Chains A and B, each alone.
Chain A
Amino acid sequence: MPAPIRLRELIRTIRTARTQAEEREMIQKECAAIRSSFREEDNTYRCRNVAKLLYMHMLGYPAHFGQLECLKLIASQKFTDKRIGYLGAMLLLDERQDVHLLMTNCIKNDLNHSTQYVQGLALCTLGCMGSSEMCRDLAGEVEKLLKTSNSYLRKKAALCAVHVIRKVPELMEMFLPATKNLLSEKNHGVLHTSVVLLTEMCERSPDMLAHFRKLVPQLVRILKNLIMSGYSPEHDVSGISDPFLQVRILRLLRILGKSDDDSSEAMNDILAQVATNTETSKNVGNAILYETVLTIMDIKSESGLRVLAINILGRFLLNNDKNIRYVALTSLLKTVQTDHNAVQRHRSTIVDCLKDLDVSIKRRAMELSFALVNGNNIRGMMKELLYFLDSCDPEFKADCASGVFLAAEKYAPSKRWHIDTIMRVLTTAGSYVRDDSVPNLIQLITNSVEMHAYTVQRLYKALLDDISQQPLVQVASWCIGEYGDLLVSGQCEEEEPIQVTEDEVLDVLEGLLVSNLSAAVTRGYSLTAIMKLSTRFSGVNRIKKVVSIYGSSIDVELQQRAVEYNALFKKYDHMRPALLERMPIMEKSASNGPTEIVQTNGETEPSVVDSKHPPPVSQPANQANDLLDLLGGNDVVPVIQTTVPTKPASAGGELLDLLGDLSLTIPPMTAYNKNGLKIDFTFERANPNPNVAVITIHASNSTEADMTDFVFQAAVPKTFQLQLLSPSSNVVPALNQGTVTQVIRVLNPQKQQLRMRIKLTYTLKGSPVQDLAEVNNFPPQSWQ
C-alpha cells in the first residue's frame, strides 16, 4: 500500500477543485483511504492521516471516525503524534461524548511528563475542553503544577485551574494555598494568569474576596511599576508596558474595591495616575483608560475621580475612532443613573451621535438620550429625538416611539405640547408604535379635558390624510366616537376650527370599516365609534343602518357588536344615552392599566366596577356589560365558584341542611322609600360561595300612576364586586299592584361592611325623575 499522501499535498489537490461536487469527490476518496489506513492500525502514518482529517473537518466534512485515532496519538510517545493528537481531541471531541473520558489517563501521565512541552499540551487541552469529570480527576495534578518554579508551566497551570474552578466550583478551596505567593513572581506570564485566577476566585466567592482584599497594596505596587518603569522591549505595545497585565490588574482592583472604603482609598492615587498619564493616541492606551474608567465608576471613589472618569468618556465621544465612541456610549449608559449631572454636560455630543452611521452607536446614543431627558431640556431633546424618529431605521422606531411617549408623559411642559408630540409620533411612526400605546394614549387624551376639541380635530385631519397606520387610526376613531360632537360644533380654542358635517365624519368612519388597510381591531373601534355618535349627533338613521348591516358581517367580532348595538336601538333605547355617555376621567393605576382595558370585550373602557367612590355614571358600563354579554361570561366580575363546599356533619338529614341554608336569617330591609317608590332588599347566601351575597330588590310604587322606564343602578366600594342581573320589567305598576324585581350579586371577599349607592330613574306622568341614595343599613349578617 503506497504511503498516504502528505497533508500539504492534499490541501493543494483539494484547492484545485472547481466545483463543490468535485471537492466532495476528492474528499470522499481520501476519507476512504484514511479509513482503511486506520483499520490497518498503521502507527507510522496515523499522525499524517489525522492531520488531513482535521483539514477536511474544517471544510465542513464529517470526521467523527477519527476520534479514537486522536486518542491513540495522544497515547503515543512521539511528540509529533501528541501534538496532532491533542489538537484533534480539541477539535473533534467534546464533553458530551463519553469517548473523551478515555483521555483522562493520558493527560494525567502527560501532566507528569519529563518534557515541559508535553506537559504544556496536556495543560492546554485540559484547560480548553476538560469536562467536570476530567477536572475532578486531574485537579490535584494541576494544583501541584501551580506550585512549580517552572514559570512556563506555572502560568498554564493557573489558567487550567481557572477552567477547573469554572467547571467544578467546589474545588476552588484546594487552590487557595497555591495562590499564596503568586503575585511575587517576576514573570509577566505568571503574573497575568495569576491575576486571572484570583479574579475568578473573587468573583465566585465572597469569602475569597474578603481574603484577597489584603493584596490590594501589592497589586497597586505592581501596576505602579508597570507605569513608571522605562521601556521594556519584551512587553512593550506602542510605548505602553504590558497593557494586558495592566487591564487585568485594573479589573481585579475593581472587584476588590467595590463596596469597600479602605480598598477604594488605597487605589485612588494609582487610578488617578493611570487616568492622567496614559497615552491616548492608540487603541491600546484607550483600552487601559476604558478599564480604568470602569473601575473608578464601580468602586467607592471620591467625586473628583468620578468626574475625571466621566470626562475621559466625554473625550472618547469626540474620538475619530468609532470603536472608542461605541465604548464611551456604553459606559455612559451604565453611569447615567448614578452620575447624572456629570453626564448631562456631554449631552450635545451624545445627541450628535444619533446621526452616526453605525447602528450600534445610534442605538446607544438613543438610549442615552432618553436617559438624559429632564424637565429643563425636554423641548430641545424632543426635537432631536423626533427628527431621529423620522429618519431612523425601522428597527429603532418602536423603541424610540415608546421612549418619546414616556418622556413626554413625565416632562411635558404643557398639555398642548404633549398632544402635539403624540400626534407627531403617530403620524410619522404610527405603524411601529407598540400595541399598549393605544390604550395609554386614549387615557391621556381623556384626561386632558380642555384639549378634547383640539385633539379630535387634529386626529380627524390626520385620518383624512392617511388611514394605513393602525394605532393612529384606532386612537382617532376612538376620539371621534367620544368627541364627535365637539368636532362638528366648529369650535376649537387652540387652532383654527374646521367645519365638518356629521355626514362627513360618518363617511370617514364608514370608510375605515370597509378599507382593506384596516385591521380587525380597528374595524371594531370604528363601529363602536359610529355607535357612540348616535347619542352625539342629531341624525341616527344612518347609524342605525350601518349597525344593522354589520349584524350579518362575516367577522364574528363585528357581528357581535353590531347585533348588540342593534339590540340597544330596538329594545333598550332608553338606556342608550346612559350607556354611551362621555367617559369619565380614568384613574391610572397598575391594575386598571392596559391589560384590563384590553380584556373587556375588546372595548377600551376600563373595568369600572372597582371605582373607589362610585359615581353613578360608572354603572351604565357595568349594566352594559351584563346586557351585552349575550354569550355569557362577564369578564369583569370574577367567576363565582361552582365547587360545592363540604357540608359540616349534622345530626339531621339532607332536608334539614337545605332548610338550614335557606333560613340563614338575614332579615330583609328597606333600602329606599321616597316619593312613592319603595325598594326592599331581600338576602340569600349563594350556596357555593359564602363571600357572595345575593340581594333581590323589590321595587313597588304607591303612587297613582305607573312608573315607566324604570332603571335601577347600583355601585359599591372598591373592595366589592357587583353583578346586576336583568330586571323583571321596567314598569313599576301603580298603587302597589306589582313589583319589579332584580337580582344583585355582591362579592365581598374581604368581608367588609356592605355599602351601596343607588341611582333610580323613571318616568312618572310624563316627567323624568332621577334620584340618588346611599344604602348603609345593611344587616350585619349580609356581609359577615
Chain B
Amino acid sequence: MEMQFMLLFSRQGKLRLQKWYVPLSDKERKKISRDLVQTILARKPKMCSFLEWRDLKIVYKRYASLYFCCAVEDQDNELITLEIIHRYVELLDKYFGSVCELDIIFNFEKAYFILDEFLLGGEAQETSKKNVLKAIEQADLLQEEAEAPRSVLEEIGLT
C-alpha cells in the first residue's frame, strides 16, 4: 500500500495541510492540489467517498468544514483508508480537545507532528491511539524543557 499524499482543505478550497510521500516538484504539487481540490469540491454529498483520478484512487471524507483527502494506489483497501483518516481525526480531536478548523490553522505544525507520529512514509506506524498521543506529549515536553531555561535566564536578566 502506498499512500502518495494527504491533503486537508476547507470548503473554500484553502489548503490547511499537505503531506507528500512521493517526490514531486513544488509546481507539480501545486497543480495536483488545485485540480484535485476542485474535483472534490464539485462532488455532491450523495456520492461515494472514492473516486478514480488520473491513475490514482482518491479517498476523501468531510469532517465539519474540513475535507481530508488521501491518494492511494490501485490495490489498496479503500475502506481501511477511511479508517486511517478517521483515526487521524480522532488523534487531532484528543490532542486539541474537540478540534475545529481554527485549531489546525493556528497550530498547523502540531497537526504535522501528530501526523508524523501516526504515519511514516504513508503507512501507519502505530495502531494504538494512546501510544501516539503519549509520544506527542513527551515530545512537546521535551520542546518546553528546551525553551524553558532561556526564559528563566531572561527573567533574571542574564540573557
Contact = CB atoms under 8 A, between A and B. Distances in A.
A291 B77 contact: yes
Given A94-B25, A156-B125, A80 B120 contact: no
B23 A95 contact: yes
Contact of A79 (B15, B30, B108, B146): B146
A405 interface: no
A58 B108 contact: yes
Contacts of A411: none
B82 A163 contact: no
Nearest to A7: B109
A64 B16 CA distance: 19
A189 B125 contact: yes
Nearest to A244: B127
Interface stretch (A207-215, A279-287, A716-724): A279-287
Contacts of B124: 192-193, 244
A287 B59 CA distance: 14
B108 A55 contact: yes
A283 B79 contact: yes
Interface in B79-96: 79-80, 82-84, 87
A381 interface: no
A609 interface: no
Contacts of B142: 79, 115, 117
A54 B109 CA distance: 9
A492 B143 CA distance: 91
A183 to B, nearest CB: 15
Contact of B105 (A11, A84, A96): A11
B65 interface: no
B47 A78 contact: no
A322 B82 CA distance: 13
Interface stretch (A126-134, A414-422, A518-526): A126-134
Contact of A51 (B20, B109, B135): B109
B82 A234 contact: no
Interface in B101-159: 105-106, 108-109, 112-113, 116-117, 120-121, 123-131, 135, 138-139, 142-143, 145-147
B48 A284 contact: no
A564 interface: no
Dominant secondary structure at the A interface: helix
Interface residues of B, number: 56
Interface string A162-205: 11000000000000000000000000110011001000000000
B38 to A, nearest CB: 15
Given A78-B146, A96-B25, A189-B125, A243 B83 contact: yes
Contacts of B44: 357
A95 B23 CA distance: 7
A60 interface: yes
- Interface size, A (range): 35 or more
A577 B97 CA distance: 90
Given A55-B108, A117-B142, A358-B46, A83 B113 contact: yes
B47 A244 contact: no
A288 to B, nearest CB: 8
Contacts of A95: 23
Contact of A188 (B48, B109, B128, B138): B128
B30 A162 contact: no
A78 B44 CA distance: 48
B49 interface: yes
Nearest to B79: A287
A199 B26 CA distance: 31
B79 to A, nearest CB: 4
Contacts of A51: 109
B132 to A, nearest CB: 9
Contact of B127 (A117, A124, A188, A325): A188
Interface string B62-79: 000000000000000111
Nearest to B136: A117
Contact of A192 (B78, B121, B127, B146): B127
A580 to B, nearest CB: 50
B127 A287 contact: no
Nearest to A12: B106
B40 interface: no
A243 B127 CA distance: 9
Contact of B109 (A84, A96, A115, A237): A84
A91 B130 CA distance: 27
B135 A152 contact: yes
Contacts of B78: 323, 326-327
Contacts of B117: 120
A660 B110 CA distance: 93
A323 B49 contact: yes
A245 interface: yes
Contacts of B123: 159, 162, 193, 196
Given A8-B106, A51-B109, A87-B109, A287 B47 contact: no
Given A127-B121, A243-B80, 14 more contacts: A8-B106, A11-B105, A58-B16, A58-B18, A79-B143, A79-B146, A152-B135, A155-B125, A193-B125, A234-B128, A234-B131, A235-B127, A251-B1, A357-B46
19 contacts: A58-B17, A64-B26, A94-B26, A117-B138, A124-B120, A128-B116, A128-B120, A129-B20, A155-B126, A159-B121, A188-B127, A192-B124, A192-B126, A196-B123, A237-B87, A243-B80, A287-B77, A294-B77, A323-B48
Q: Which 6 A-B pairs have the closest CB atoms?
A: A287-B79, A127-B121, A189-B126, A322-B48, A159-B120, A287-B80
Interface of A: 7-8, 11-12, 15, 51, 54-55, 58-60, 64, 78-80, 83-84, 87, 91, 94-96, 115, 117, 120, 123-124, 127-129, 131, 152, 155-156, 159-160, 162-163, 188-189, 192-193, 196, 234-235, 237, 242-245, 247, 251, 283-284, 286-287, 290-291, 294, 322-327, 357-361
